[in-house]
Amino acid sequence: MMTKGLVRLQRLWSAYWLLLPALSIYVVFLLYPMVFSFLISLYQWDGLAPVKKFVGLENYRVFFSDPASLLALKNNIIWMLFMIAIPVALGLVLAVILNERVPGRTAFRAIFYSPTVLPLVAVGIIWSWIYNPTFGAVNSFFRLVGLPELTRPWLSDPKVALYSVILTGIWQGTGFPMLLFLAGLQTIPRELYEAAEIDGASRIQSFWYITIPSLRETFVIVVSILMIGSLKVFDLIYIMTWGGPGRLTQVMSTWMYFNTFVFHKAGFGSAIAWIITVASLGIAYPYIRAMSRR
C-alpha cells in the first residue's frame, strides 16, 4: 500500500514538474505584474521616486469624481454602444448573404475580413490621411460632388472627432463578427429551413425564428468579445487623435497611459488599469459560460 502511494506521489510530482516552465512564465509575466499593479494603485507615486505614499482606495475615488476620467469612461461607453450595434448588425447581414451560393463569395469573405487582420497602427495612419482636411479623401470627395460646406477637420472638430475614429473602428472590426456568424450559420441544419419552407414560412420568418435562436451562443460570444475590445481600445485613439482635441476623445486605456507615462501618476494609472480589468472580467463571464456550455 505504501509503495503504491509513493508511486502515485512520484507520478504527481512528475506531472507538476512538467508544468513548472509554463507556470513560471505565467507567474513572472502575468501574475506578478497584476499583483504589483494592484499594490501600486494603493499608493500616490510618480513611478520614479523611491518613496511611495500610501493612500488606500483614494485613487479609485478620484477616478469616479474626476471630470476627465468620467469623460474617458463616457467615451468608452459610446464606443462600446456603436461597436456592438453596427458591427454585429453588419456582420450578421454579411454572413447571411455570404453563406448563400453567391458568385465570388470566397473573394468577398476575404475582402470583408481583411481589415480585421491589419495592424491597428497602420489602420490609424491610413485613416488619418483619409480624414486629412487638406488632401484627405473625405473632404476631396465632398468638394468633387459640390458639397464643400460638409468639409471639416474631422479629427480636430470636437463635435465629430470621436465618431470619426469610431467609424474607423467599425470598418476595421466588422469582419470578425462576420466570420463568427458564418461559422455559426454553417452549424444550422438545412432541414430546419426546408421544413419551414414546406410549412409556408417566408425567408424573413425563417431568419427570425430559426437563424436568430440558433445563433444565440454566437451572439453571446460576439457581443462579449466586442465589449471587452471596446474597453481596451487604445491604438486608434492614440494614433489618430492622441486623445484630442483637448481631452474630448480620451478613453480609459489612453487616459491610463497618459496618467502613468506622461503625467507621472503611476498609482492613479494603475487604478484605471484595474477598473478596466474588473469591468472586462464582468463582461467576460457570460462569454466563458457560453463557451463552457458549448
Q: Mean pLDDT, to the nearest integer, of 79-93?
A: 94
Residue 39 lies in a domain: no
* pLDDT value for 141: 94
Distance from C-alpha of 134 to C-alpha of 70, rounded to nearest angstrom? 33
Q: Is the CB of residue 132 less than 8 Å from the CB of residue 141?
A: no
How many domains would you assign to the chain? 1
For the segment 105-153, what is each residue's pLDDT rounded down to a tens digit?
889 899 999 999 999 999 999 999 999 998 999 999 999 999 899 999 9
Residue 77 CB partners (closer than 8 Å, separation 6+): none
Residue 229 lies in a domain: yes
For the segment 24-56, what is each residue's pLDDT rounded down to a tens digit?
888 888 888 889 999 999 999 988 888 889 999
In which band, very low, low, confident or very high, does the pLDDT at 221 lie, cut at 50, 70 and 90?
confident
Residue 203 lies in a domain: yes
Q: Per the structure block, which three cell numbers stand in for 133?
A: 482636411
Q: Mean pLDDT, to the nearest integer, of 187-200?
A: 85
* pLDDT value for 38: 93
* pLDDT value for 204: 85
Residue 288 lies in a domain: yes
Q: Is the CB of residue 221 less than 8 Å from the CB of residue 176?
A: no
* pLDDT value for 294: 58
CATH code of the domain in which 69 resides: 1.10.3720.10
Residue 45 lies in a domain: no
For the segment 234-267, what is each residue's pLDDT rounded down to a tens digit?
999 999 999 989 899 999 999 999 999 999 999 9
Closest CA to 196 of 216, 213, 220, 176: 213
Range of the domain at 273: 55-113+167-293
Q: What is the mean pLDDT of the chain?
A: 88
Q: Is the CB of residue 248 less than 8 Å from the CB of residue 71?
A: yes
For a pLDDT cut of 70, what percent of the chain falls above it? Answer: 92
Q: Per the structure block, which three cell numbers stand in for 48?
A: 520614479
Residue 106 lies in a domain: yes
